[in-house]
Amino acid sequence: MANTRLGISPGTAYTLIVAWAVIVLALGVGMAAVASADNAGDELANETVNLTNETEPITVGVEWNETITDETNETADITFYNASEYESDPANATAVISDSVYADAGNTSEVDYGESDGLVNGTQYRVVVTGTDAEIDDAWISTANSGGALFGGSSSGGALVGGVAVIAVVAIAIYGRGSE
């Protein structure tokens, strides 16, 4: 029996909906793959911190994914900028400290920064952590008195797209069976 509103049978409508969901899933996975192929400059954490006697050291942490295949060529890049200069013009802000932390698959790397590294007590800094989102599970910036991360970064949008697509396909399959 044909659906009078659309002029197609429920079986045909079900097939079209499943085909549409598969196409959306394929496009989502494809876009996520393209995005992760060249994303060594993903911004994973970006926070303003004030260096004082109470907040020193400023700690930058990186939680590495355990599936990294090339640890010697994978890094998280950490850059400290003067906060007011960065807020005025991030593209032209001068780096106060530029550092790289090499990958350590499945482990967490933490690096402390303070006056001994050239930072000035009483100064606000913008700290930016970049790297490959697919290789880094999380990145954060904390201070001695913050009790934890000021910013937790890194998440994969591809996983979200895939999860939504799977849920949509299951829902469509359940709905399609009930209408026959």
Q: From CA 43, how far away is CA 15, in angstroms rounded?
A: 41
For the segment(s) 40-149, the CATH number from 3.90.1720.10, 2.40.170.20, 2.60.290.11, 1.25.40.10 is 2.60.290.11
DSSP 135: T
pLDDT, position 24: 61
pLDDT, position 6: 58
Closest CA to 125 of 43, 45, 44, 48: 48
pLDDT, position 118: 94
- Residue-range domain boundaries for the chain: 10-35+160-178, 40-149
Q: Give the number of other CB atoms < 10 A from CB of residue 10.
A: 16
pLDDT, position 173: 59
pLDDT, position 166: 52
pLDDT, position 41: 78
Closest CA to 48 of 151, 146, 119: 151
Question: For every one of its 180 residues, what pLDDT tens digit does the chain have, with 9 covering 90 and above?
Answer: 554 565 777 677 667 677 666 676 555 555 544 444 444 578 999 999 999 999 999 999 999 999 888 888 899 999 999 999 999 999 999 999 999 999 999 999 999 999 999 999 999 999 999 998 889 999 999 988 765 443 344 444 444 445 545 555 555 656 555 555
Q: From CA 111, how far away is CA 99, in angstroms rounded?
A: 10
